[in-house]
């Protein structure tokens, strides 16, 4: 179980497999003599052209190799890197016999990068890649340990790690996946996902604070990966970012785990009567923790005085960082989008298809794709002055979605059926327009579904974003939850009286077209999918956690083959490679252009029929 959890943790950070350890190209640009310690201004490349800037504090008085501390910073802002705002920690460690390397985070470094891709900058492809900036920060810390191991002054068997806030999270994650961290002291950075969701803490958190949780871990699982190595935590009772019930639950459970290992003395949580703040007291307690577990040092008088060096003097690149920096593209370097390589023979594609379907069901959509029972449907009153009847469908426990259904009065034989997936703010009368031919012929059952958090009234953007970020904590996105609603609605439509269950079509416009497509992929009883203005890449939606680790939308279309996929009005060029797969099945006509949804329902894949019908 531990090995599996470790692999899942690395995967959720985007570090499975490990990136190649390219040359560090480390250099010291300047050394500052501070009397009893020195500060070296260090740069290295964690990946090619991804520059990490750091200050290395070294005690001058050394009796052999010294233990080293990797200090990772919180979100303090300075044009010279956030390392400059935490230099007191490096000074304190150096004056008490430790080497300490303080790393800039890419969010506030001498070379531009960002942590706020989803939360502020709307880089929604981060979730589709399952990219978190925690991944590159953890990798930078791992490479910092690699660098420390090259230094003759440092004992590589005695490496500790600490940091506050965002630095606490990076301490937490790095210690979980790198056993070289012998003791960890994350300060003000731990709770549980349940407590975070209840308090809606995502409003105040940066994207770096969390792995992409498609393995559906909790912070308890992450803490268990650190045990039984020494772990010190500290929290403020008034800290709204890390709710008290969450960290106390963590303390209870993980404390019990250390007890079961026979090492209760290795785990401690300090609770202080403050908000989200650092303090001299916590700085001293962290050093005493490392004294016990890295030095084997009993209580001693610590030297805690410090005098900060002007920030500009600690800039590694002196205000002129490398112009070839790739820090801003860390998400592309760690997690490139796989190419759709068209196979030459059907057997090759079938192997690829099996691999992709397993990945979709096991990693991207781990909930059952085929619900065991038909969902409950409640029929409401007809819509005023319209031929639609409103219904409610229970798609999940305590989740009910709205739908509208329209059908002929009488039918002599089972009818084809259409499930149209509505987009955010798409009104029923707008959908009526695109279904006008189907309404006129009235030879099918039509259902319009409004998945959860979708209604004719547009969601406020901040509300939608909050739902998305909170859903990630439990291994979902808003779109993956909506896809579940679509699959359940298909079940409800299939059970409707008079519907031919073998002739179900799903359709949608824009991102909803992507939902319809994946419903057809996951439910192979669906006969066909009709895509209206679909995005050409998951970079534009729908957002599913980690989908771009496996495939993009053009290859997703190929997964429906040899069943029918039509594009309404036009076939975007990006989807042409999918035609190869339909050709391998001998059914090239089943990937086609349409302008007539009713023709699709009647089984037509051409336009050779009278428009007056």
Mean pLDDT for the stretch of residues 24-31: 98
- Domain 2-333 CATH assignment equals 3.40.50.1820: yes
In the chain, CATH 3.40.50.1820 sits at 2-333, 346-601
Higher pLDDT, 533 or 379: 533
DSSP per residue, 14-67: T-SSPPP------EEEEEEE-SSEEEEEEEEEEETTEEEEEEEEEES--SSSEE
Say how far apart CA 600 and CA 529 lie, in whole Å.
Answer: 9
Confidence of residue 85 (pLDDT cuts 50, 70, 90): very high
pLDDT tens digit string along 135-164?
Answer: 999 999 999 999 999 999 999 999 999 999
Predicted pLDDT of residue 124: 84
Query: Model confidence over 341-364: pLDDT tens digits?
Result: 999 999 999 999 999 999 999 999
First to last CA, the chain: 63
pTM passes above 0.85: yes
> What is the average per-residue pLDDT within 213-219?
89
Q: Is the pLDDT of residue 17 over 50?
A: yes
Q: What is the pLDDT of residues 435-451, one digit of tens each?
A: 888 888 888 899 999 99
| Cα Dmax for the chain | 96
Does residue 540 register a pLDDT over 80?
yes
- Average pLDDT (51-57) is 98
Q: Tell me how far apart the alpha carbons of residues 238 and 251 are, in angstroms, rounded to a whole number.
A: 17
Q: Could you tell me which residues are beta bridge partners of residue 504?
A: 417
What is the rounded distance in angstroms from the CA atom of residue 321 to the CA atom of residue 316?
A: 8
Just give the CATH number of 346-601: 3.40.50.1820
Per-residue pLDDT reduced to its tens digit, 456-496? 556 666 777 888 888 888 899 999 999 999 999 999 999 99
pLDDT beyond 90 at 589? yes
pLDDT band at 369; cut points 50, 70, 90:
very low
Question: According to the model, what pLDDT value does residue 457 have?
Answer: 57
Asked if pLDDT for residue 291 goes beyond 90, the answer is yes
Q: Categorize the per-residue pLDDT at 200 as very low, low, confident or very high, splitting at 50, 70 and 90.
A: confident
Q: Among the listed ranges 71-80, 140-149, 180-189, 380-389, which one has the minimum average pLDDT value?
A: 380-389
Rounded CA gap, 34 and 276, in Å? 31
CA-CA distance, 591 to 350, in Å (whole number)? 18
Q: Kindly give, in sequence order, each residue whose CB lies less than 8 Å from that of residue 513, ignoring residues fewer than 6 positions away.
A: 421, 507, 531, 532, 533, 534, 535
Q: Which of 105-109, 331-335, 549-553 has the lowest mean pLDDT?
A: 105-109
């Amino acid at each position: 179980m531990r090995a599996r959890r470790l692999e899942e943790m690395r995967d959720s950070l985007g570090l499975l497999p490990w990136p190649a350890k390219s040359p560090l190209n480390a250099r010291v640009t300047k050394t500052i003599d501070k009397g009893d310690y020195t500060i070296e201004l260090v740069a290295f490349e964690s990946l090619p052209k991804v520059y990490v800037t750091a200050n290395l504090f070294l005690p001058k008085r050394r009796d052999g190799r010294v233990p080293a501390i990797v200090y990772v910073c919180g979100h303090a802002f300075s044009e010279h890197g956030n390392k400059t705002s935490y230099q007191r920690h490096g000074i304190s460690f150096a004056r008490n016999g430790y080497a300490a390397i303080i790393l800039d985070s890419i969010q506030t470094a001498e070379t531009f990068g960002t942590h706020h891709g989803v939360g502020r900058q709307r880089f929604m492809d981060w979730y589709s890649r399952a990219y978190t900036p925690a991944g590159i920060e953890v990798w930078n810390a791992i490479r910092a340990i690699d660098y420390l191991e090259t230094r003759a002054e440092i004992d590589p068997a005695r490496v500790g790690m600490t940091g506050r806030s965002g630095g606490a999270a990076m301490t937490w994650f790095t210690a979980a996946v790198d056993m070289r961290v012998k003791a960890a002291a994350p300060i003000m950075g731990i709770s549980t996902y349940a407590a975070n969701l209840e308090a809606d803490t995502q409003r105040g958190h940066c994207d770096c604070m969390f792995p992409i949780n498609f393995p559906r871990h909790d912070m308890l699982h992450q803490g268990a990966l650190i045990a039984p190595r020494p772990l010190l935590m500290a929290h403020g009772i008034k800290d709204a970012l890390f709710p008290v019930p969450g960290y106390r639950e963590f303390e209870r459970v993980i404390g019990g785990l250390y007890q079961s290992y026979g090492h209760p003395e290795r785990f401690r949580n300090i609770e202080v009567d403050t908000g989200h703040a650092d303090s001299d007291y916590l700085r001293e307690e962290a050093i005493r923790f490392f004294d016990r577990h890295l030095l084997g040092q009993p209580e001693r008088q610590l030297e805690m005085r410090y005098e900060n060096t002007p920030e500009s003097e600690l800039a590694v690149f002196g205000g002129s960082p490398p112009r070839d920096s790739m820090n801003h593209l860390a998400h592309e370097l760690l997690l490139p989008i796989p190419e759709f390589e068209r196979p030459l023979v059907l057997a090759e594609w079938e192997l690829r298809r099996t691999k992709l379907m397993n990945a979709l069901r096991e990693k991207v959509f781990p909930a059952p794709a085929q619900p065991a029972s038909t969902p409950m449907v409640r029929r409401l009153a007809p819509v005023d002055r319209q031929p639609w009847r409103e219904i409610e469908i229970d798609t999940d426990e305590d989740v009910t979605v709205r739908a509208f259904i329209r059908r002929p009065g009488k039918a002599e034989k089972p009818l084809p059926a259409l499930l149209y997936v509505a987009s955010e703010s798409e009104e029923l009368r707008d959908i009526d327009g695109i279904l006008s031919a189907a309404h006129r012929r009235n030879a099918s059952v039509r259902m319009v579904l409004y998945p959860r958090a979708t209604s004719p009234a547009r969601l406020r953007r901040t509300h939608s974003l909050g739902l998305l970020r909170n859903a990630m904590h439990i291994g979902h996105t808003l779109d993956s939850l909506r896809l579940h609603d679509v699959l359940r609605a298909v079940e409800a439509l299939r059970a409707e009286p008079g519907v031919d269950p073998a002739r179900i079509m799903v359709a949608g416009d824009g991102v909803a077209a992507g939902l319809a497509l994946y419903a057809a992929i996951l439910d192979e009883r669906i006969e066909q999918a009709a895509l209206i203005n679909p995005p050409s890449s998951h970079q534009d939606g729908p957002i599913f956690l980690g989908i771009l680790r496996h495939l993009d939308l053009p290859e997703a279309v190929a997964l429906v083959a040899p069943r029918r996929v039509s594009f309404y009005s036009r076939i975007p060029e990006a989807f042409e490679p999918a035609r190869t797969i339909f050709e391998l099945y001998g059914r090239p006509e089943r990937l086609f252009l349409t302008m007539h949804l009713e023709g699709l329902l009647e089984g037509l894949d051409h336009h050779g029929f009278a428009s007056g019908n």
